[in-house]
Amino acid sequence: MNAPLLEIRGLSVHFHTPEGIGRAVESVSLSIAPGETLGLVGESGCGKSVTALAVMGLVPSPPGRIAAGEIHFDGKDLLRIDPESLRRIRGRKIGMIFQEPMTALNPVLTIGRQVAEPLVAHLGLSRTEALKKAGRWLDRVRIPAAVQQLRAYPHELSGGMRQRVMIAMAMICRPRLLVADEPTTALDVTLQRQILSLMAGLKAELDTAMLLITHDLGVVAQTAGRVVVMYAGRVVETAEVRPLFAAPLHPYTRGLLESMPQLGAGRGRLHEIPGTVPAATRSIRGCPFAGRCPSAFDRCRQDAPALETVRPGRRVSCWLYRK
């Protein structure tokens, strides 16, 4: 088995807030093999995006800080290398598609300059060479009149076109790992399908690994090979896609799957998980999902279960699977 390209071990990310310490990510561990697509799923506020920012070295400090853990990429711990070395990796070997392209793109710079910038910064191309290659990449991500769009500004493009620009920027240096944070959230269903197809094609062509962050399990089913489910900043279940969808183990994962709208008669009222995700500043005793779990019993409210292997290829953090 190949060594992981990315391996996160015991990552904790905390934020100082007026209400106290917010534990956005707590003891998260996961790995991605070269060329693999790993889906990271969960409700809003469960720590998915903060995990991505930690990988990129972009957790704002203050108020945030890496409280514990290691992030190994290609044999280097990204949390312990110097800032200049991290900058050389970020954008060159690890690309990122941010959640909202309108805020990720600089509104006062042209599309051409922004797409060309990674080539100038990381590969040493001249501005002229970089702009030519940027035009080819805009065409590659299926932006009409690509050369003319080099002179456009972000506000002049539609949401779907801006997302394609973000993909071009993230992939133009042929990174080994792509971090995609909710890449289709603001798009309609037709555009979602187009963007996912585009990303899958480029990923296969460049043999890039991908960390796909989403709350949409339908997107995960189409795209990922393995899934990590997060809740309240913690990993509660990991599995390959098919076994997870066929037989989810953690009650939270079951709730997510049952909440997915499905076609066909006889579905009745749409299922929902009662309650809300506990605040990151709240001190949690026991399993963080116990207050919303239909299967919870006394031990769940007293002791926090560890994430352990319960079946081949299946890990779950739940007392239901512990003797």
Compute CA 204 distance to the chain's CA centroid, rounded to the nearest angstrom.
Answer: 18
Distance in angstroms (rounded) separating the CA atoms of residues 102 and 149: 16
List the beta bridge partners of residue 76.
73
φ, ψ dihedrals at 229, nearest 5°:
-100, 125
Short-list 232, 248, 230, 224, CA closest to 282: 232
pLDDT tens readout for residues 125-157: 999 999 999 999 999 999 999 999 999 999 999
Count CA atoms within 13 Å of residue 134 on its CB side. Answer: 27
Q: Are 50 and 59 in contact (CB under 8 A)?
A: yes
Structural domains of the chain, ranges and CATH numbers in brackets: 1-82+177-260+275-323 (3.40.50.300), 101-174 (no CATH)
pLDDT band at 245 (very low <50, low <70, confident <90, very high): very high
0.85 cut: is pTM over it? yes
Q: In what order do the strands lie in the sheet with 314-316?
A: 94-97, 177-181, 209-214, 37-41, 226-231, 234-240, 314-316, 308-311
Q: Would you state the structure tokens that stand for residue 210, as one six-digit string?
A: 């991908």
Number of neighbours of residue 218 by Cβ within 10 angstroms: 13
Distance in angstroms (rounded) separating the CA atoms of residues 40 and 220: 8
The predicted pLDDT at position 190 comes to 81
- Compute and round to an integer the Cα radius of gyration of the chain: 21
Lowest average pLDDT, out of 17-26, 193-202, 227-236, goes to: 193-202
Compute CA 295 distance to the chain's CA centroid, rounded to the nearest angstrom.
Answer: 29
pLDDT tens readout for residues 187-224: 777 888 888 888 889 999 999 999 999 988 888 988 99
Q: Would you state the structure tokens that stand for residue 219, as one six-digit string?
A: 């997107």
Distance in angstroms (rounded) separating the CA atoms of residues 139 and 186: 22
Question: What distances in angstroms separate CA 216 from CA 179, 196, 203, 274, one per listed residue?
Answer: 16, 12, 20, 18
Distance in angstroms (rounded) separating the CA atoms of residues 37 and 79: 23
Distance in angstroms (rounded) separating the CA atoms of residues 245 and 126: 48
The predicted pLDDT at position 267 comes to 56
Length of the chain measured in residues: 323
pLDDT tens readout for residues 29-75: 999 999 999 999 998 889 999 999 999 999 998 899 999 999 999 98
Tokens 């100038």 sit at which residue? 120
Distance in angstroms (rounded) separating the CA atoms of residues 131 and 112: 6
Q: Are 49 and 213 in contact (CB under 8 A)?
A: yes
Under DSSP, the state recorded for 4 is P
Q: What are the E-state strand segments in 182-273?
A: 209-214, 226-231, 234-240
